[in-house]
Structure 1
Amino acid sequence: MTHRVLILGGQGRIGSSVARDLATYTSAEITVTGRSLRAPLDSPLQFLPLNLEDIPRLRQAIKNCHLVVHCAGPFHHRDGRVLKICIEEGVNYLDVSDHRSFFQKVVAYREAAAEAGITAILNTGIFPGISNSMVRQGVEQLDSADTIHLSYVVAGSGGAGITVMRTTFLGLRQPFEAWRNGQWQSVLPYTERETIEFPQPYGKTGVYWFDVPETYTFAESFPGVKNVITKFGSIPDLYNHLTWITAHIFPASWVESPKGIEFFSHVSYAMTAVTDRFSGVGVAMRAEIRGRKNGQATTHCSTFVHKNTAVSAGMGTGSVAQLVLDGTLKKPGLWSIEQALPTDLFERAMESRGLMIQQSAQSVKRGQSPQPPSP
């Protein structure tokens, strides 16, 4: 049987990357949606004009497929209508959602998804996505984990489009709750700069607190963990300083208004169109898990690098979609990616795409402070 996949927002940078990955690794019939066709599609992709506000037409599109992949961000303003229809029609669901507000909206559908027998997985992609599975991989290497420190850095635009720029600016001015010392504490985005050493070609660069769904889901996924730190930065470092100024110096009325967000997003996108030529559009991630192994304090560190952020996001989501389509990954209910994807399947998926996760661990003798190993 040929599986039918519907990719909402499939003409965007992330959605099109997911479509290309599925076309490469599966024989599925793939339909991508958008308000209008922007450019001719490569075979075997098909196009369906669709507005997500048109509920009857959306329902008809969903009921005719086996899997829906929701890539139509930004997810700050999305509700759970797509997931709700998937549950009602018995269709499996994945998304590339990247904000906790969306998770908090759709978590109410957990029981309904389980009763419908569909597999619904949130936060697939690169970060969140591959990053979440790196953390699960590291936590499972220890007897107990106390602290998760997850850092990301993106070069230039990351190969993504204007929607990702909007996502960044939408989250700049709002304090968020972070899991620190076993309780929720308010944190301001783009504060507490740290210098993290990422693998080459990125090396040492600055990262800052940033509101991502991992901050929220890890506290649930790994109940023994007392601290979840999630920090993000850009290359070149000039963008970090400009973003900090936007977050902390400019009047809130400029940054928080729809017109302001559009202005900053388009200016940033224009700037990266120039700097991408020498910075590249890659991504690096570093997951550091601190805990205990065989009675000793131990730090587990894993790193990931890819030359194109959008392409690697497509691989992250596409590999999960492939597992769902072939029946290897079947977990009725609604889950974040680290809750749904076992580590052995994650490692197999990464290997199938030629993606490498570098891992190392360091035990620390009693009386000494853990020092993370070099990536």
Structure 2
Amino acid sequence: NIQAKEDAMKVMVIGGGGFYGRYLVADLLKFSEAKILVVSRNPPADLANHPRIQTVACDLHDRDRLCQLMRSCGLVIHCAGPFQYLPLTPLLVAIETRTDYLDLAEDRRFNQEVQALQPEIEAAGITVLTGLSVSPGFEMLFAEMGKHYFAELTGIRTYAAPDTRKHRGPAMFATMLMGVGQPFWQPEGGEPRLVHGWTEPEWVEFPPPIGRRLTHLVLEMAHLDLLPDEMGVGTVAFKAGTEWTVLNRLLNLSARIRRRWGWPRWERLTALVRALSWLMGRFGKDEGGVIFALTGRSHGRELTHRLAINARRDGGLIPASLASIAASRLISGNLQASGLVPLNNWLTTGELLDELRGRGLEIWWQPDGAAAWERLPAGLPANPAEGLANPTGWPTRRVGGPVRSAGVR
């Protein structure tokens, strides 16, 4: 019983030495009592000095070694690259060892493969949350929040302004360059539309201190399926842009070249682009943010309300925070869910905003027609619409299921 309790409090973080993995590990140390097993091909020496962290060298594809390590943990979090064409190995091992599983995966195909494993996940009796990043994780929660502003929620457009000061790993750069000029279908007005990565420039005003950014469509991601299927929205888009407008324009030019001639394969230049990014990062900014522009109908009018998450420092915390929140709640037994858990209602709106504010993240609000952003230091944004089908309809309960600690069977 003592060993089972210790295992339940041990979290295995695959890729814990990477850019987002480090944010995740630091957040878990601060907001949980978990012991952490950092698994990486080349474990960073500095993490091994913490009394609650153990580091182990292991390849993502080494199924036998992963199985051995996972049997001593109550929860595994997968945040390693590559972020496109992600292998299923950690999830398959989690099913085999009956270990709860979380990941930060954004890839559309990966999500489809995970959805196909739902019978095996339920048979194993484990909790699985996939996509706990900005997309689709935060998008689904903010769509659930936002649907109560409208008689009908019809679309969600997400805009990301990443920080650039801290250096990201090669997996992120390879993923970004892989998407340059690549075609994919995304829903618009309920119909599929062919688009290309790093095209369709759009200037967007973020809350302070970020300000105006030039953004572009980025990648084919899981939200393109999940938001229409689970939330019934007809329009979905995700755009991003750094504070370096010239870099954004170069990526757009590269996309147009690849779209016209089918070459070059920009991902082959990952090492060069990463080196240039490191140099630019010496002058980069540490803040980051994300906007969720929610469109819907009310009283015969089409409205767009905007909600935003802002980090005045450590912008990379935003994509990593959702997995840490879920992990802490699983470990403490406060997450009432099992099986393949829907992303839109495992947290109530109040719980989500409290968790974000507790991490020093700001919530901003811009209702339809407003000229400026308004910061919300506490509570929920006021509903500007009248006569809604559910005027007080903020979500007040999570998805059902037995309360249990991670790893306790």
CA positional deviation for 1:270: 1.8
What is the TM-score when the length of structure 1 is the normalising length?
0.88
Q: Identify the range of structure 1 (67-76 vs 168-177) with the bigger mean alpha-carbon deviation.
A: 168-177
Out of 16, 20, 30, which is 1:24 matched to? 30
Residue 148 (1) aligns with residue 146 (2) = no
For 1:337, the aligned partner's letter is L
CA positional deviation for 1:178: 0.5
For 2:361, the aligned partner's letter is L
CA positional deviation for 1:15: 0.9
State whether residues 155 and 276 of structure 1, in contact with CA within 8 Å, keep that contact through their aligned partners in structure 2.
Answer: no
Residue 47 (1) aligns with residue 61 (2) = no
Matches within 5 A, 1:179-218: 179-211=187-219, 212-218=221-227
Which residue of structure 2 lines up, in the alignment, with residue 312 of structure 1? 318
Which residue of structure 1 lines up, in the alignment, with residue 285 of structure 2? 280
Which residue of structure 2 lines up, in the alignment, with residue 365 of structure 1? none
State whether residues 164 and 284 of structure 2, in contact with CA within 8 Å, keep that contact through their aligned partners in structure 1.
Answer: yes
- Cα distance, 1:35–1:297 mapped onto 2, change above 3 Å: closer
CA positional deviation for 1:105: 2.0
- Cα distance, 1:148–1:158 mapped onto 2, change above 3 Å: farther
Spell out, residue by residue over 1:289-345, the C-alpha distance to the aligned partner (whole angstroms, 9 max, x if none). 121346654332111221323233332321221112212223222246335433233
- Cα distance, 1:252–1:158 mapped onto 2, change above 3 Å: farther
Residue 254 (1) aligns with residue 264 (2) = yes
Q: Identify the range of structure 1 (32-41 vs 190-199) with the bigger mean alpha-carbon deviation.
A: 32-41
Residue 241 (1) aligns with residue 249 (2) = yes
Out of 62, 65, 68, which is 2:70 matched to? 62
Residue 72 (1) aligns with residue 77 (2) = no
State whether residues 128 and 338 of structure 2, in contact with CA within 8 Å, keep that contact through their aligned partners in structure 1.
Answer: yes
- Cα distance, 1:281–1:318 mapped onto 2, change above 3 Å: same
Out of 167, 178, 190, which is 2:175 matched to? 167
State whether residues 86 and 92 of structure 1, in contact with CA within 8 Å, keep that contact through their aligned partners in structure 2.
Answer: yes
Q: Identify the range of structure 1 (42-51 vs 309-318) with the bigger mean alpha-carbon deviation.
A: 309-318
For 1:308, the aligned partner's letter is D
Spell out, residue by residue over 1:212-234, the C-alpha distance to the aligned partner (whole angstroms, 9 max, x if none). 322332112211x2211221222
State whether residues 35 and 49 of structure 1, in contact with CA within 8 Å, keep that contact through their aligned partners in structure 2.
Answer: yes
Inter-partner Cα distance in structure 2 for 1:28 and 1:62: 15
Spell out, residue by residue over 1:161-192, the C-alpha distance to the aligned partner (whole angstroms, 9 max, x if none). 22211111122232112111212222111222
State whether residues 113 and 333 of structure 1, in contact with CA within 8 Å, keep that contact through their aligned partners in structure 2.
Answer: yes
- Cα distance, 1:294–1:320 mapped onto 2, change above 3 Å: farther
Inter-partner Cα distance in structure 2 for 1:314 and 1:335: 18
Q: CA RMSD in A?
A: 2.2
State whether residues 196 and 255 of structure 2, in contact with CA within 8 Å, keep that contact through their aligned partners in structure 1.
Answer: no
Which residue of structure 1 lines up, in the alignment, with residue 402 of structure 2? none
Which residue of structure 2 lines up, in the alignment, with residue 374 of structure 1? 372
State whether residues 199 and 255 of structure 2, in contact with CA within 8 Å, keep that contact through their aligned partners in structure 1.
Answer: no
- Secondary structure of 2:162's match? strand
Which residue of structure 2 lines up, in the alignment, with residue 349 of structure 1? 355
Inter-partner Cα distance in structure 2 for 1:149 and 1:325: 33
- Secondary structure of 1:106's match? helix
State whether residues 215 and 240 of structure 2, in contact with CA within 8 Å, keep that contact through their aligned partners in structure 1.
Answer: yes
Inter-partner Cα distance in structure 1 for 2:295 and 2:283: 35
Out of 267, 270, 275, which is 2:275 matched to? 270
State whether residues 167 and 278 of structure 2, in contact with CA within 8 Å, keep that contact through their aligned partners in structure 1.
Answer: no
CA positional deviation for 1:67: 0.6
State whether residues 281 and 308 of structure 1, in contact with CA within 8 Å, keep that contact through their aligned partners in structure 2.
Answer: yes
Matches within 5 A, 1:52-131: 52-131=60-139
Out of 325, 330, 339, which is 1:324 matched to? 330
State whether residues 131 and 285 of structure 1, in contact with CA within 8 Å, keep that contact through their aligned partners in structure 2.
Answer: no
Q: Identify the range of structure 1 (182-191 vs 342-351) with the bigger mean alpha-carbon deviation.
A: 342-351
Q: Identify the range of structure 1 (198-207 vs 152-161) with the bigger mean alpha-carbon deviation.
A: 152-161
CA positional deviation for 1:249: 1.6
- Secondary structure of 1:338's match? coil
CA positional deviation for 1:9: 1.0
Inter-partner Cα distance in structure 2 for 1:98 and 1:124: 8
- Cα distance, 1:222–1:315 mapped onto 2, change above 3 Å: same
CA positional deviation for 1:245: 2.2
CA positional deviation for 1:97: 0.8
Inter-partner Cα distance in structure 1 for 2:328 and 2:350: 15
Long gaps (5+) in structure 1: 363-370
Long gaps (5+) in structure 2: 374-409
Q: Identify the range of structure 1 (134-143 vs 230-239) with the bigger mean alpha-carbon deviation.
A: 134-143
Inter-partner Cα distance in structure 2 for 1:246 and 1:335: 38
Residue 301 (1) aligns with residue 299 (2) = no
CA positional deviation for 1:12: 0.7
- Cα distance, 1:284–1:67 mapped onto 2, change above 3 Å: same
Spell out, residue by residue over 1:79-100, the C-alpha distance to the aligned partner (whole angstroms, 9 max, x if none). 2221122122221111111221
Inter-partner Cα distance in structure 1 for 2:302 and 2:262: 44
User: How many residue pairs get matched?
Assistant: 361
